[in-house]
Amino acid sequence: MVVPVSSLSIAIQGIADFLDTQLGPEVSVSVDSPQVAAETAKSSNNAHILNLFVYRIAPSGFHPDLSPEDPLFLRLYALLTPFKGAQGDQADDPEHRILGNAIRVLSSNPVLPTILPGAGVVADGADDFRNDPAALAYRIQAVMQAPSMEELNHIWTTQGGELAYRLSAAYEFAVAPVEPMNRKPAPPETRAALLDVIPGPPVKAADGFIEFSDETIAIPLGDSPPGVSWLPVVLAVEGDALTTRATVTAGDTDIDIAIAGLVGEQVAIDVNWTRAAPGATVSQPTQIFPVNAPLVTNPASIAPLTLVAPAVGDVATLRVRPASGGVPVPGAPDANSLTLTVTA
């Protein structure tokens, strides 16, 4: 039974295959231990050998946001060691020539042009990770290293046999992903976006608000309903601050909110109350507001939101959606939400 391929094996073999295509028919690239590569070279009648020996694997760094369902990214540390073939090139220094050409190839191609696991590859078997349509397509970067002589000496003395020290080049190849056994479900596609373009530094106005350019670009994405290519931003005004969680004094009939989006469009806001007494849920009629500013920091974005009989302990959740013609756009996604808490 053949062990299924992994993204690690694909990466190591991919590096070797790239070098093999660049060094010509006189050199064969292997991925064995130095001892095995040396024995193979002794019996080689056709080519010298450049051996890619991965002697150390390390994580790419500390990634606290990754879970066991995300790919793990690795750095591969390897020695490139040339071995003279038994009946190959009879030059006095074939090993130096091979190693020099390999270094030249990687210096000229610091990011290997090979895309892994490879375009058009037909995966073998149900256990082959390449059968997963979400498997990553990635490229490897080669960075030359300078390990200490103690580290190199340790590598060579642990090979066994009578293998003598050989001049080698040390490289870090990064990053190679390890595909998870169970992949995290893909997040839903973004349905709409709003890009605010600020060509210069912000300027503070006399009234305390930051003045920005009115340049705003809507980006239609995904499967948003017809006519919806943007989402509003609505924040509550509390003193000099803008917030998504504000407090309201009992008996207040309105609160200032800042509405930003595509100027000339409309926003629908639903106020849904959870009453402290008797604990019922009550919804106010939908309120429609025009969008007068592209940014919440613009004074023109401020509008009064009507509140119906707020009492101590009540909590309101505001639902924000794009609107058109005085009504919410059917099927439009919700924008950010706000929470109001009523105090004495």
Q: 46 with 164, same domain?
A: yes
The domain of 245 spans: 192-343
Q: 202 with 314, same domain?
A: yes
Residue 133 DSSP class: T
Any domain includes 309? yes
What's the pTM? 0.56
H helical segments located in the chain: 7-23, 34-42, 94-108, 149-157
Query: For tokens 């040390």, what's the residue?
Result: 170
Q: 273 with 124, same domain?
A: no
Which residues does 264 contact at the CB level (< 8 Å), separation at least 6?
A: 290, 291
- Three-state SS for 57-81 is EEECCCCCCCCCCCCEEEEEEEEEE
Question: What stretches of 261-337 adopt beta strand conformation (E)?
Answer: 266-274, 281-283, 287-290, 302-306, 315-324, 327-328
Any domain includes 289? yes
Any domain includes 186? no
Q: Total structural domains in the chain?
A: 2
Q: 76 with 209, same domain?
A: no
CA 213 distance to own-chain centroid: 30
Residue burial 51-90, b: 16+ Cβ < 10 Å; e: rest? bbbbbeeeeeeeeeeeeeeebbbbbbbbbbbbbbbeebee
Any domain includes 121? yes
Residue 151 DSSP class: H
Any domain includes 219? yes
CATH at 281? 2.60.40.10
Q: 203 with 149, same domain?
A: no
pLDDT tens profile 280-329: 889 999 999 999 988 888 899 999 999 999 999 999 999 999 999 999 98
Helix (H, G, I), strand (E, B) or coil at 255: strand
- Taking the C-alpha atoms of residue 10 and residue 13, their distance in angstroms, rounded to an integer, is 5
pLDDT of residue 234: 92
Q: What is the mean pLDDT of the chain?
A: 83
CATH at 60? 3.30.2000
pLDDT tens profile 90-102: 667 889 999 999 9
Any domain includes 184? no
pLDDT of residue 204: 66
Question: Which amino acid, 304?
Answer: P
